[in-house]
Amino acid sequence: MKIIIIDTACANLASLKFCLDRLGFNATISRDLKELESADKLFLPGVGTAKEAMKNLEQFNLIDFIQNTKKPLLGICLGMQILGNFSEELNQETLKLIDFTTQKFKAKEGFTFPHTGWNQVHSSHALFKGLEGAYFYFVHSYCVGLGEYTIADCEYSQKFSASVMKDNFYGVQFHPERSSEAGEILISNFIKDIG
């Protein structure tokens, strides 16, 4: 099985590859279109702003490929957020693959932002097989509200989508590569059971 991490020139590429390699999945980091087209599973990681991520994808001529791929793709953190229509962070249009808008967390007394640390996620979807009520590691100031494409939820000052899915596109707001055993199980589920 060919597993490729889409090279978005963002900070968590190496940690995701290290996690995949440790699990026995030989992953490649690439932005080469021919190589990407040969993938069986794709990962779209992201750290930073939606504007920066979209600029990089455009610069590397990856937008059309991502929008048209039929291979299972997992967006991580910002990689999930840019699967939607629009991000309120710097008012940025995104990939428009799943119908949602990324919004700033609602301020609430007693909560500090970014939402950083471990939080419980609830889901009955196959991506979360064996993980009901598991804790995952989050770092984010913007979130996706609950909606039609939510497959897992979490709560921090408000309920939000911990994971979304439409067709072959999946996204997780947390960092599975930083989420210990739960993250490893989720990555294995995506590679072995999805698509």
Active site residues per annotation: 77, 175, 177
Phi-psi bin for 65: left (phi > 0), alpha (psi -120 to 50), beta? alpha
Nearest to 36 by CA among 16, 19, 12, 57: 57
Length of the chain: 195
**86-87 β-sheet, strand order:** 92-93, 86-87, 101-104, 142-144
Q: Which two tokens stand for residue 121?
A: 């996620």
For the chain, count helices (H), then strands (E): 6, 13
| Burial letters 42-81, b for 16+ CB under 10 A, else e | bbbbbbbbbbbbbebbeebebeebbeebebbbbbbbbbbb
What are the tokens at 116? Answer: 């950083």
Residue among 188, 190, 156, 171 nearest 81 (CA): 171
